[in-house]
Amino acid sequence: MTRMINFGIDLGTSNSLVAKFDKGQVEIFKNPNGFKETLPSVVGFRNDRILVGEQARTFVERDPKSVASRFKRKMGTTETIKIKSIGASKTPVELSAYILKELKGFIHTGEPLDAAVITIPASFDTVQSNATKEAGALAGFKSVVLLQEPIAASLAYANKERNVDLKNSQWMVYDLGGGTFDVALVRIVEGELTVVDHEGDNYLGGSDFDAMLVEKVVVPALEKKGKFSDLLGQMKSESGKYNRLFQSLIFKAEEAKIELSTKTAAEIDLGSIRDLQDDEGNVIEAILTVSRSDFEAVVKDAVETTTEMMKKILVRNSLQPQDLQFILMVGGSTYIPYVRKRVEEVMGISVNTGIDPTNAIAVGAAYFAGTKEFRVEAKEDKKAVAPGTLRIRAAYNRTSQEKEEPFTAKIDGAPDGLQYRITREDGSYDSGLRKLSGRIVEDLPLREGAFNIFTLRILDAQGNQLPTDLGSIQIAQGRYSVAGQMLPEDISLVKDDHAAKDTRLQIVFSKNAVLPTKAKVTVEVGKTIVKGARADAIRIMVVEGPSDRHSATNKPIGLLVITGEQISRDLIKGTEIDLNFEMSESRELSVSAFLNGTGQEFSQVFRASERKVDTQILATEILKLEERVQEEIADAEKSGNSDVQERLERLLQPVQDLMGEAAKLSSDDVTDNKFQIEDRKRKLAQDLNELTSGKRLQQARNDYAEAKQDVATLVRESGNDRERHMLSEILGREASLLSSNSPEKIAVATEALKSIQWKILARTPDFLTGMYGHLVERRASMNDQLQANTLIEQGKRCLATGAWDDLRQINARLWDLMPETEQASSEMSNYTGIV
């Protein structure tokens, strides 16, 4: 049996809400304690009690080290939050689950909250999205559907406005919340909403404004009032002397920020903070006055960053601001007057504040939940449905722009002689009695701009109504639905490029692909995997980010793994593996693999990985990035490319600034600064990749031309029909390929050419003999001398008998025994497979 989910939840960084869709209306539930719509996303631990919301927020004054907040920003990471009072740590997923459980208590109707649509920022990556679903499962939800926040906001607006014609229109959603920022280009086409493009930052929001106020205003004021040594560093370090002060000041700064939205000045009472003393034990009691202009000066650069993202979307989509109907403002931080004013100044069009920025996301989530089905488990279904109840499987759209909506239904096991009747709740439609033949097909007339409720009755020959498991048929006319959620980034495989002694990306799903989606990718085994060998495995990294950039600039989200212990026989190098990828609407990635060499099929071979950032490793990576920039500057100067040199020199300064910021991070930093710095490092690496693409493009074209010449000759002399067809397909795409200005795409084609070359050479006796001799010469460096000697002796016998297929396998196994450093430097590395 199925029913609609109906409940929508905004699981926010600062505050969370729950709402319900019911008969065309959305109700936002209030906290029974205090009757506020919002629940602060704060969790505290006091002895054996768990405090959630306002109670936890109040408790921070007494014991800040036992209170956790802003943990949404660490979703999908390996970070945990230490809780002093319980002597243990909690994960962001566990803390989020406490918030979700607390929201269940808001439902005054008494109905169970066991399924919900939970919103996420559009810029959340796959691992963060999965962590959100995990929090829902931990909170006891049997079904969780994720919805991107810009879509939720647009649904809330589009379904609220009745006097604005939104058909075939487009706008931007500017969503500045407590911890994240999203800007999205949204269109309505034929009554359906879709996100066309987006930019975002998971570490930019109101909580950053709070931290900036503390760092740039409050801390300098404290340092004038007392004597401190590295006050800010001691506040951010978990073991720092003033660590507990940081949490208290953040909440004070947030209160001042909120007050400054309606007043020109706000006060921060430092004397109200318990045990606020300097290094010499002097108590600090002062009231700090912060003006609105002080605050605006602090957040100016961050707000400017958001407007730059808006400009990027316009440029990418060849739009002018005047092409937009409006800019929809959502998120609590859009209450800040400077934010609204600056967006209007930059874009030159007025902002739209027609919906409540605080609850719009939850309202939109509820509208979406009203269209999503929740399938009841078989055990519960049996309990809920009485014996003799007819089971009806119905299909229809819950929202429609049409005047009539098709309705179909199938009745399982219906006896002969039954009739059916469909009526509308307002009494203006009645289908009359009709013969039931096991299937119903009707066009239901809809009242315009209204929520239409129909009832389907099944009657026996005596006119008695029979029980069914179908509830009312509810269709909202004039309401908007979602065409599909878009994938915010490319999903790719990282594959070894032996020729370049580097890695490259093979795209699986493209950015803006409509979810859910499927794809099939064929890869080749790069080294022989021995049956039963625990250490042997096929490992392919999956990353998220631009597929036309270097793999190091993208986020790792997991691994595809098949070990030697899982296979039924040796998997020879070069064997093809068919990988089938599926990504759900909620960004759950599943991968199955078929091994052509063994005939085995494996499901769920993808292992998601949480994000981990080590501050020392991060500093080293930024140092290497700085060295790369310096090398590219020298190379550009040497080649006389002054334009690229100048742009690289401009890039050098932010990289060096980042080095300074990373150097200040303590190993036990409790903020999310290291994640922000890693994101910025990744973006700078992408900028470097783009600036040097010209040089790499020319090299890629040269490599392609050389490979094409070699392969064409080889195919003409020794190729079979399949290889000639493969070469013809590559050459057929050559014109568009070489004009693409993408070194990565050209490299993929070059690798495909070399794959054809390898397939032909691998069955050529002269090549196999030469490769065998090359490997014998390197016997001394092989990892397992006993196995090497055995294989070499087997190879001699193959040469004597002309057993070329067996010799090819022996060569592959000998190659795998060589150290990776020798493999990379060997002249045979171009002919050893792909993965």
- What letter represents residue 442's amino acid? E
Q: Per the domain annotation, does 705 fall within a domain? A: no
Asked if the model's pLDDT at residue 641 lies above 50, the reply is yes
Asked if the model's pLDDT at residue 23 lies above 90, the reply is no
- DSSP class of 498: T
Question: Which range is most confident: 5-19, 661-675, 719-733, 804-818?
Answer: 5-19
Query: Which has the higher per-residue pLDDT, 743 or 100?
Result: 100
Q: Per the domain annotation, does 184 fall within a domain? A: yes
Q: Per the domain annotation, does 805 fall within a domain? A: yes
Q: What's the confidence (pLDDT) of residue 801?
A: 92
Instruction: Report whether 19 contacts 8 (CB < 8 A).
Output: yes
Asked if the model's pLDDT at residue 411 lies above 50, the reply is yes
Q: Per the domain annotation, does 376 fall within a domain? A: no
- Identify whether residues 178 and 310 lie together within a single domain: yes
Q: What's the confidence (pLDDT) of residue 385?
A: 55
Distance (Å, whole) CA 835 – CA 824:
13
79: left (phi over 0), alpha (psi -120 to 50) or beta: beta
Q: Give the DSSP per-residue string, 385-449.
A: SPTTPBEEEEE--SEESSSEEEEEEEEETPPTT-EEEEEETTSS-B---EE--SEEEEEEE--TT
Nearest to 421 by CA among 369, 473, 382, 381: 473
- Identify whether residues 105 and 90 lie together within a single domain: yes
> In total, how many domains does the chain have?
6
- Identify whether residues 194 and 334 lie together within a single domain: yes
Instruction: Provide the whole-model pTM.
Output: 0.83
Query: Which has the higher per-residue pLDDT, 675 or 693?
Result: 675
- Identify whether residues 644 and 510 lie together within a single domain: no
Kind of pairing between the strands at 419-424 and 576-583: unpaired
The first and second tokens of residue 239, run together, are 């073991």
User: Which CA distances in Å does 38 have to 41, 152, 331, 361, 604?
Assistant: 9, 17, 13, 12, 39
Instruction: Report whether 776 contacts 770 (CB < 8 A).
Output: no
User: Which CA distances in Å does 562 have to 9, 533, 535, 603, 604?
Assistant: 38, 11, 11, 10, 10
Q: Which one of 608, 623, 643 terminates a domain? A: 608
Asked if the model's pLDDT at residue 120 lies above 50, the reply is yes
User: Which CA distances in Å does 814 have to 790, 805, 819?
Assistant: 10, 15, 11
Nearest to 288 by CA among 280, 276, 279: 276
- Identify whether residues 312 and 405 lie together within a single domain: no
Asked if the model's pLDDT at residue 132 lies above 90, the reply is yes
Give the alpha-carbon dihedral of 132, 137, 141, 145, to 10 degrees. Answer: 40
Distance (Å, whole) CA 221 – CA 288:
8
**Mean pLDDT, to the nearest integer, of 320-333?**
95
Q: What's the confidence (pLDDT) of residue 834?
A: 30
Helix pair angle (721-732, 743-761), 10° resolution: 170
Q: How many CB atoms lie within 10 A of CB 164?
A: 13
Distance (Å, whole) CA 735 – CA 738:
6
Instruction: Report whether 368 contacts 482 (CB < 8 A).
Output: yes
- DSSP class of 719: -
Distance (Å, whole) CA 461 – CA 441:
21
pLDDT digits (tens, 9 = 90+) for 192-249: 888 889 999 999 999 999 999 999 999 999 999 889 988 999 988 888 888 888 888 9
**Mean pLDDT, to the nearest integer, of 661-672?**
88
Q: Which one of 608, 640, 675 terminates a domain? A: 608
Give Cβ neighbours of residue 230 (< 8 Å, ≥ 6 apart).
none
| Continuous segment of H or E residues that includes residue 702 | helix 693-718
Domain that holds residue 516: 487-608
- Identify whether residues 265 and 144 lie together within a single domain: no
Cβ-based burial of 30 (10 A; exposed 0-12, middle 13-18, buried ≥19): middle
Query: Which has the higher per-residue pLDDT, 372 or 758?
Result: 372
Q: Under DSSP, is residue 169 helix (H, G, I), strand (E, B) or coil?
A: coil
**Mean pLDDT, to the nearest integer, of 616-645?**
91
Asked if the model's pLDDT at residue 20 lies above 80, the reply is yes
- What letter represents residue 227's amino acid? K
Q: What's the confidence (pLDDT) of residue 2?
A: 67
**CATH code of the domain in which 473 resides:** 2.60.40.10
Q: Per the domain annotation, does 632 fall within a domain? A: yes
pLDDT digits (tens, 9 = 90+) for 457-500: 999 989 999 999 888 899 988 888 888 888 989 999 987 765 55
Distance (Å, whole) CA 494 – CA 542:
6
Centroid of chain to Cα 65: 30
Q: Per the domain annotation, does 253 fall within a domain? A: yes
Distance (Å, whole) CA 113 – CA 110:
9
Q: What's the confidence (pLDDT) of residue 805?
A: 86
Hey, which residues does 351 pair with through a beta bridge? 327
Q: What's the confidence (pLDDT) of residue 482?
A: 86
- Identify whether residues 148 and 172 lie together within a single domain: no
The first and second tokens of residue 459, run together, are 């009657």
Hey, which residues does 46 pair with through a beta bridge? 49
Q: Name the pLDDT band for 346 (thresholds 50, 70, 90).
A: very high
Asked if the model's pLDDT at residue 422 lies above 50, the reply is yes
**Mean pLDDT, to the nearest integer, of 622-629?**
93
Asked if the model's pLDDT at residue 832 lies above 50, the reply is no
Give Cβ neighbours of residue 335 (< 8 Å, ≥ 6 apart).
258, 261, 357
Distance (Å, whole) CA 41 – CA 51:
11
The first and second tokens of residue 714, run together, are 């080889």
- Identify whether residues 191 and 247 lie together within a single domain: yes
Instruction: Report whether 544 contacts 490 (CB < 8 A).
Output: yes
**CATH code of the domain in which 544 resides:** 2.60.34.10
- State in Å, rounded, how far the first CA of the chain is from the last one: 46
Distance (Å, whole) CA 320 – CA 446:
38
- What letter represents residue 765's amino acid? P
**Mean pLDDT, to the nearest integer, of 412-417?**
81
- Identify whether residues 603 and 621 lie together within a single domain: no
Centroid of chain to Cα 759: 38
Distance (Å, whole) CA 231 – CA 225:
12
Kind of pairing between the strands at 327-330 and 170-176: parallel
Asked if the model's pLDDT at residue 594 lies above 70, the reply is yes
Q: Under DSSP, is residue 489 helix (H, G, I), strand (E, B) or coil?
A: coil
- Identify whether residues 342 and 399 lie together within a single domain: no
Q: Per the domain annotation, does 711 fall within a domain? A: no
Q: Which one of 673, 691, 709 terminates a domain? A: 691
Q: Per the domain annotation, does 596 fall within a domain? A: yes
Lowest mean pLDDT, pick from 11-25, 314-328, 681-695: 681-695
Distance (Å, whole) CA 501 – CA 815:
16
User: Which CA distances in Å does 365 have to 10, 20, 372, 373, 537?
Assistant: 7, 9, 11, 14, 43
The first and second tokens of residue 468, run together, are 């069914």
Centroid of chain to Cα 83: 28
**Mean pLDDT, to the nearest integer, of 131-136?**
96
Asked if the model's pLDDT at residue 680 lies above 80, the reply is yes
Burial 411-437 (b: 16+ CB within 10 A, else e): beebeeebebbbbbeeeeeebeeeebe
Instruction: Report whether 463 contacts 482 (CB < 8 A).
Output: no
Q: Under DSSP, is residue 507 helix (H, G, I), strand (E, B) or coil?
A: strand
Q: What's the confidence (pLDDT) of residue 835?
A: 29
pLDDT digits (tens, 9 = 90+) for 354-388: 899 999 999 999 999 998 988 665 455 454 556 77
Asked if the model's pLDDT at residue 740 lies above 80, the reply is no
Q: Under DSSP, is residue 455 helix (H, G, I), strand (E, B) or coil?
A: strand
Q: Give the DSSP per-residue string, 671-696.
A: SSHHHHHHHHHHHHHHHHHHHTHHHH
Question: What's the farthest any 2 CA atoms get from each other in the chain?
Answer: 96
**CATH code of the domain in which 203 resides:** 3.30.420.40
- Identify whether residues 131 and 14 lie together within a single domain: yes
Give the alpha-carbon dihedral of 794, 798, 799, 801, to 10 degrees. Answer: 140
Asked if the model's pLDDT at residue 286 lies above 70, the reply is yes
pLDDT digits (tens, 9 = 90+) for 151-208: 999 999 988 876 677 888 899 999 999 999 999 999 988 778 888 899 999 999 999 9
**Mean pLDDT, to the nearest integer, of 533-543?**
86
- What letter represents residue 202's amino acid? N
Give Cβ neighbours of residue 352 (< 8 Å, ≥ 6 apart).
157, 171, 326, 327, 328, 329
As a whole-number percent, the residues of the chain with pLDDT over 90 amount to 53
- Identify whether residues 146 and 179 lie together within a single domain: no
